Structure 1
Amino acid sequence: MKDYKYIARRSDGSQSDGWIRASSDKHAKAILEERNLHVVLVVPEKTQRKNGPKIKRESIMTCLRELATLRESGMALDVCVYSLIETTDEKPLKNALVKIHQDISSGLSLSNAIESQPKVFPFYVGSMLKLGESNGDLSASIKSVAERMEKEEAIATEIRSALTYPSFLVIICVLVVLFLFSYVIPNFESMISEANKESALAGLVSTAQFINDNIAVIVGLLIALVVYVKYLSDSGKLHDIGLAVLKKLPYVKELVQAWQVVQFSSSMQKLSESGVDLVEALTITNNNVSDVTLNKKLNLVIGRVKEGQSLGSSLSEYSVFPAIVTRLIASGEQGAALVSCFREITKLYERRLSVGIKRALSVLEPVIIVIMGGIVGSIMIVLISGIISINEIGW
């Protein structure tokens, strides 16, 4: 599946533009035609839609909560969205809501209208709303989306707050090291003689001279690195690379796996509670997965379940999740209690995830202090040792 940028005309002649996920150009055009849109242009999107307008997640969550409340009151969907346009102060969000209102007024569903604005809303919102549209309980689906976003934001806020002090330490340490190499260490050049050319002090002075002589090249390389990282971020490759690296780290990979279990089990719980059959629930859940490797494994699992194999044995066959998860799911299938089974898995791994994040972040701070202190301390030890050795020679 690829992302395509499209420009089309609605039935009333107005322009509609956005993004759509499809397997090919023809598939994308067919989807747009099903939405009663007259295609003008469809081109592959190369940037994975990550560089959109900056909108606070709090604003999006508030918007979704208000939309659910208005919908519950019996107000028509287009009127609900129009009310949000009038009350929203954030310009990028208001512009997105205007486009969504235009799409809904022309006959498009809310899920499809939101899917065409992926720079504003998370990738999983559209597929989660389709469930509410199919079972007639759209407000509940909107609330589920808001709850998921709130969980993600709570975890992100906890991580950001815990990383504030270590980040401050790293910045201060980098500035101190740059100051030492730029202004302090070069002053020790006169202390280097034939007798101590092979000393640590001489190596430190040589390094400082190299940095100062090639500062323009180093700055240029750093700028190029920042540009390249931005390119990876915009193309979606940075997320995949970062996730692949995190999954190989001894302790962090367990946290990543715990988060994947929470996403899977919570989605399956809500879908099963709504009466969605197992294959469709798995398909919708898989559409909400951002990890490419997990996505491929779940596709294989869906194929096995369609063939008549149980979900627990299919997950176990492809080693999708830890053994305890597959055993709990298998026991839930045997006792016809999959909903309660998924609920317990979600609670268990949410607790593990919370405890694991706090433990990892509590260890991170002293580790950074030791590393940064070791770097600065080593430089100072070399400088002090050089001064002492010069004094001993003079004496």
Structure 2
Amino acid sequence: MATLEFHVQDPGGALSVRRLEAADVPSAIGQLTAAGLKPLDYQEVPPVPSRRRRVPEAQLTTFYRGLATSLTEGVPLVDAVSLIARESHHSALQVSMADVAQRVNEGLSLDRALTAWPAAFPAADVVIVRSGRAGGTLPEALLLLADHRETTGEMSRRVASALVYPAVLAVAVGLMLAVFFSFMMPRFLSLFEELGMGRDKLPLLTLMVVWIGGHLFRLLLWLAVPIAAFAALVRLLVRSATGRLRWDYLKLRVPVVGALLYHAAVSRAAGLLGVLLARRVPLVEALRLAADSAGNAVLGRAFRAAAERVSGGDRLSVALGDTERVPEALVWRLAVAEQAGDLAASFRAASATHRAQADVLLRAFVAIIEPVLIIGVGLLVGAVIIGCISPLIAIVSQLSGS
């Protein structure tokens, strides 16, 4: 059985999209014809991937911005979503969009159709889309959502680009040492023996280099096993709410990296709150959605606690300040914004501030790790070179003395 999607025309001339399962194309056309529909064209729908597959930030940004542009130009919603689904090169987004288009064509609103794919479209995105639909400003809401996604994804792209150089350097050095120990080191040992310097006469550094070369792959295996075990333990730990909370707390305690993660999480949560409040989403609901989107369980717990306090009648600045997890500057800013009645602008400004601080910390982290890595590689390569040259120097000295 294959899933086929047809563009059809009913007897009145109206166009629509129909999806059905059939053994082959002729039998599918027969079903449509029997229903009084005229098939115009069709495409085979690929197998539906797991609904747990996430869609990258860049793909979501492209989808929201493209959909907003199409709606602004007057393209019907179903056609706009179907077009994006066909043009997308990301399988999860392509299939989810085809399913969303089918649901919208069957009468569901866009926000309700998106809820069928919770991993691809977070709850906060659905709420923003719902606010745009309810207010008759769906294109504006989608553009605002695209801008937010683009901003939050920028930090991830910077982190990834900052780690490219250290990763490439580490891989290159590892391959170079593997080739050296596998092919060059045995030749050096043969040369030393031919010149009358057996293993019992080699310098200590040379013996260490020879031993490491002979046990390199075993050492890598011994190193890989505890690392893999630790990674598996962490994955098991973060499955529970308590374990995730403890792990995120430990990450925040790491020098430099912890501060970077903290400012990035505050920026992400504050930016989302700015977007949600600008779309007139109730404050308590916005706080709960921001807690889920912060990316850190410690900060998320603080926002959930603040949501409970606000629902009980407390002021937002007081509720967040009592958690002792939110920066004092943000609390003061919110206290002023509560008086002025513009929390959305205050959260957007706070998001920009903490994003800039995270960027400064990222540059500091890169500035630290690159020279440390270069020095470490230099010491390692230097030790190998000295270990190989030392016996040759000793042999030359003996020959010169004789």
**TM-score, normalization: structure 1?**
0.72
Is 1:139 the counterpart of 2:139? The answer is: yes
Q: Is the 8 A contact 1:267 1:285 kept in 2?
A: yes
Aligned twin of 2:386: 381
Please name the residue that 1:264 is paired with. Answer: 269
Deviations 1:237-277 (A, max 9, x none): 6x969866642321122221111221222222222233333
CA RMSD of aligned residues (A): 3.9
Contact 2:337 2:346 survives alignment (8 Å)? yes
Q: Determine whether 1:172 maps to 2:177.
A: no
CA distance in 2, matches of 1:280, 1:320: 20
Q: Separation in 2 of the partners of 1:382 and 1:56?
A: 48
Q: Secondary structure at the match of 1:308?
A: coil
Quick one: distance in 2 between partners of 1:289 and 1:312?
A: 18
Q: Distance in 1 between matches of 2:235 and 2:262?
A: 22
Q: What's 2:52 paired with?
A: 49
The 1:375/1:127 distance shift into structure 2, 3 A limit, reads farther
Residues 1:330 and 2:371 aligned together: no
1:1-395 correspondence to structure 2 within 5 Å: 49-50=52-53, 58-73=58-73, 75-88=75-88, 92-118=92-118, 120-121=120-121, 124-186=124-186, 187-188=188-189, 190=193, 191-194=197-200, 199-211=204-216, 214=218, 246-389=251-394, 392=397, 395=401
Q: Which runs of 5+ in 2 are unaligned?
A: 1-17, 22-49
Q: CA deviation at 1:306?
A: 1.6
Q: CA-to-partner distance for each residue in 1:53-82, whole Å, 9 max, x for gaps?
A: xx7754543332121123334554333323
The structural deviation recorded for 1:92 is 4.9
Instruction: Rate the CA distance shift 1:158–1:381 in 2: closer, same or farther, 3 A.
Output: same
Percent identity over the alignment?
21
Q: Give distance in 1, aligned partners of 2:247 and 2:393.
A: 46
The answer as to whether partners of 1:127 and 1:288 remain within 8 angstroms in 2 is no
Deviation per residue, 1:319-370 (Å, 9 max, x gap): 2222211222223224434233223212322322333323332333222211
Partner amino acid for 2:334?
I
Give 1:298 deviation, angstroms.
Answer: 1.7
Q: What's the counterpart of residue 41 of structure 2? A: none
SS in 1 for 2:166: helix
Change (3 A) 1:153 1:233: farther
> How many angstroms apart in 1 are the aligned matches of 2:297 and 2:51?
14
Measured at CA, do residues 278 and 381 of structure 1 come closer, stay the same or move farther in structure 2, by a change above 3 Å? same
Indicate the SS of the match to 2:215. Answer: helix
CA-to-aligned-CA distance 1:97-136 (integer Å, 9 cap, x gap): 2111122233433234334335545675334433334444
Distance verdict in 2 for CA 1:371–1:264, change over 3 Å: same
Distance of 1:234 and 1:103 partners within structure 2: 36
- Residue 49 of structure 1 aligns to which amino acid in structure 2? R
Please give the alpha-carbon distance, in whole angstroms, between the structure 2 residues aligned to 1:264 and 1:137.
Answer: 24
CA separation of 1:219 and 1:121: change in aligned 2, threshold 3 A: farther
Give the Cα separation in 2 of the matches to 1:233 and 1:303: 30
After superposition, the Cα gap between the structure-2 partners of 1:230 and 1:375, relative to the gap in structure 1 and judged at 3 Å, is: same
Q: Deviations over 1:159-206 (max 9, x none)?
A: 333333332221211112212322333443844444558x23223222
Name whichever of 371-380 and 105-114 sits farther off: 105-114
| Gap runs ≥5 in structure 1 | 1-11, 16-46
Please give the alpha-carbon distance, in whole angstroms, between the structure 1 residues aligned to 2:375 and 2:148: 37
What secondary structure, in the 3-state scheme, does the structure 1 residue paired with 2:178 have?
A: helix
The letter for the 2-side match of 1:374 is: L
SS in structure 2 opposite 1:321?
Answer: coil
TM-score (structure 2 length as normaliser): 0.71
- Other structure's SS at 1:108 match: coil
User: Partners of 2:298 and 2:143 in 1: how far apart?
Assistant: 29
Contact between 1:185 and 1:204, CA under 8 Å: does it hold in 2?
no
Residues 341 and 60 (structure 1), Cα distance of their counterparts in 2 relative to 1, 3 Å cut: closer
User: For residues 391 and 147 of structure 2, what CA distance do their matches in structure 1 show?
Assistant: 60
Query: Do the aligned residues in 2 keep the contact of 1:61 with 1:146 (CA within 8 Å)?
Result: yes
Secondary structure of 1:96 counterpart: helix
Alpha-carbon distance in structure 1 between the residues aligned to 2:159 and 2:167: 12
Distance (whole Å) between structure 2 residues aligned to residue 249 and residue 375 of structure 1: 26
Note if contact 1:48-1:236 (Cα within 8 Å) is conserved in structure 2.
no
Q: Does the 8 Å CA contact 2:264/2:354 hold for their aligned counterparts?
A: yes
Q: Which residue of 2 is the match for residue 25 of structure 1? A: none
Between the aligned partners of 1:125 and 1:70, the Cα distance in structure 2 is 18
What whole-Å deviation, never above 9, does each CA across 1:268-322 have from its counterpart, x for those lacking one? 2222233333212212322333322322222111111122222122212112222
Local SS of the residue matching 2:345: helix
